[in-house]
Structure 1
């Protein structure tokens, strides 16, 4: 569910990640229990059908019992969407610890930046206490159209103090309230071309916690008036209507909350356990704040890759073609282009349904010349979705529009510790990186 940092960065993902909406229908047909075993040996000859899968990674998450940790849950969630990792987030009005509310089922999205919460899940008293950010000299309301691969969210930009686990932002930070403005206020020009995702049902979660490498969700593109006029995600809405694109200073842009913690603010580690190759009902991991700041968050990655400001490895290679690769917990499958893999029929459009288990490899390349080959496994989506009580899958894959991107979605995270070092170059700090 990777957000578009600006229109310049828009990718051809619309067809592929429509899977998020599709699977909410598939998985919702299920029910019942299902195994939560972490075995990776469920490779029956029927499932593999003469094919093979690579060995699964086996790292386990640390216990989420320290202040700089919070549990991650992958399960049925709010709407039966598969491979949606979620955490709980507490929101308070600026300058007070009263009238706060803890919101569960907030999606962990390393492919976007900033906190976004659906307005309907907030208590009315809290919603009213969160001030709408003004823009310009006339206190015009600020709103945002955040564009994702499968749609867009529309709503006001407000400020709040945010707590996740035992960490709290140093002060109030800008966030988006999704769906608090009438549908008729959505700008006819400049907002996303996909479907509106302004409800819990449409979004598949109560909100999105964007914790990728960037400290804000648009950066210089939206801060600079000359580029903002064409590419800004932000809109000035006098009286809440007649919304028009506007430039927004960095300190008013929707912000990565973790980058605004007083400590443990230089990155995150996403840790999920291994899961069965045929899927399982749920998985529980840990989101760790900070890298190298505490005894429980040392940088222990086998490979680290310098990235651009958005966490992309732009010199990676798949099938002899240079691609932009990225680790995105907000995508519920691997998404890439490969004409040798059979697509599913109309029941599961956009997913791959090979007749036998498949292994594919991509060479990841960072801007620091670090390279590493990674192998991923792929089972037929039709086979995986045959168990309607399972919500955690490590070998689900789908098609992406074009062949210039390779989305290593949530399946990549199972059995791994995946690191995101935040971009601090604007303050002469660390350059952004990812690792595992």
Structure 2
């Protein structure tokens, strides 16, 4: 799930597909095991209620989440019974104090940047977090646009603690804390206002993609900015915001282990109620995060690399914020009557795409499976679904390896900085 300006209109459409299947599955009954345990292998990596539709997939197991630079990832019912949503727990504090709130079911998103909290889920802490101000003195707010809608709310500063790591005094966004009447009528118009945890499908979004901030130099210019100055929370107008004051990927502000992350989920050959994996902070900074046995693909500053699918060039990215893999393939039938944004082949399809770094130095083949979405969703108590894929509807040109890609893999994201080139590795 990647917010603007790091995207195109076609790119945004995949979040609409995410919500479609998630809501339908929740209506089918929901429930299921939320996972847990003390090690990275504790999730259910088997089947529940359906025949195993995938064989021969990746088999890497996550490491235990016992070190200070690790935290568990749970794919389960989460906050709102959405499928294929990876969640972590985050503690948010008033800077430099012990006034804190621990919030679970924060969606882990490798294609956005920064922490965004649903105001209803963070009610215990947001009143104590001072709202940041613009250069003109108004309350600083942001409109972040996604496919089916947008999130609107203030920017505040907080200490962010994840596992044993702390990012001190980083800008975050609080979603839904401003009156709906304050939403800018000209630029913040993409779909509906996603102002609650029910709208988001999670209690917040933790963006840990390769960029350090959610907008960069573009938002320093008020004309191009996502940010607004709102005197007394109303009459909002576009505002340029220096990079240092923009919503920030908190991992980049850890004292150590701040140059990247590794997402690790267990192998999954069939639908399961839940699985538990591990998010590892840092690359090459500890004994548990070495870059070994991995091909690194140099990316642009949004985490996008080059790719080819069935002879067509596709801009390719790897996104835990998408609950399926999204790409265009007219040979794969879409589901009818339900899950209509998703593919429903009569049997499991074994497919592949080629990928290469933006500098052309490395290349490889990604094998993946596409499973009938109605088969995957037949049992409403399963929330971890391998092989889920759909069409983003924008024609060829984009390939989104969403959460099903991550089962059984260790996926590395190296952050862009003045001294480091971003890459995605697996």
TM-score category (smaller protein): over 0.9
TM value normalised by structure 1 = 0.91
Residues 1:295 and 2:287 are matched in the alignment: yes
Report the secondary structure of 1:135's partner residue.
Answer: coil
2:64 paired with 1:81: no
Q: CA deviation at 1:276?
A: 2.5
Gaps of 5+ in 2: 36-42
1:349 aligns with 2:353: no
1:384 matched to 2:381? The reply is no
Asked if the contact 1:15/1:350 (under 8 Å) is kept, the reply is no
Q: In the superposition, relative to structure 1, how do residues 236 and 286 fare at CA in structure 2: closer, same or farther (>3 Å)? A: same
User: Paired residue for 1:108?
Assistant: 108
Q: 1:267 aligns with which of 227, 244, 260?
A: 260
Q: Deviations over 1:136-178 (max 9, x none)?
A: 14x1111001112332110001100000000001x20000000
Whole-Å Cα distance in 2 between the matches of residues 87 and 423 of structure 1?
Answer: 23
Residues 15-26 of structure 1 mapped to structure 2, 5 A cutoff: 15-26=13-24
Alignment partner of 1:116: what SS? strand
What SS does structure 1 have at the residue aligned with 2:17? Answer: helix
Cα displacement (A) at 1:26: 2.4
SS at match of 2:21: helix
Q: Does 1:402 align with 2:395?
A: yes
Q: Measured at CA, do residues 184 and 382 of structure 1 come closer, stay the same or move farther in structure 2, by a change above 3 Å?
A: same
Normalising by structure 2, we get a TM-score of 0.93
Show the 5 A alignment for 1:9-408: 9-28=7-26, 29-31=28-30, 33=32, 37-39=44-46, 55-96=56-97, 98-124=98-124, 126-137=125-136, 139-169=137-167, 171-223=168-220, 225=221, 228-229=222-223, 231-277=224-270, 279-313=271-305, 315-369=306-360, 370-400=362-392, 401-408=394-401
Distance 1:59 1:241, change over 3 A: same
Q: Matched residue of 1:174: which SS?
A: strand
Deviation digits for residues 200-235 of structure 1, max 9, x if unmatched?
Answer: 111000000000000000001112x2xx40x31111
The 1:162–1:322 alpha-carbon spacing in structure 2 relative to 1, beyond 3 Å, is same
The secondary structure found in structure 2 opposite 1:12 is helix
Taking the aligned partners of 2:50 and 2:58, their CA distance within structure 1 comes to 15
2:410 to 379, 404, 417: 417
Q: Say how many residue pairs are matched.
A: 415
Deviation at 1:15, TM superposition (A): 4.2
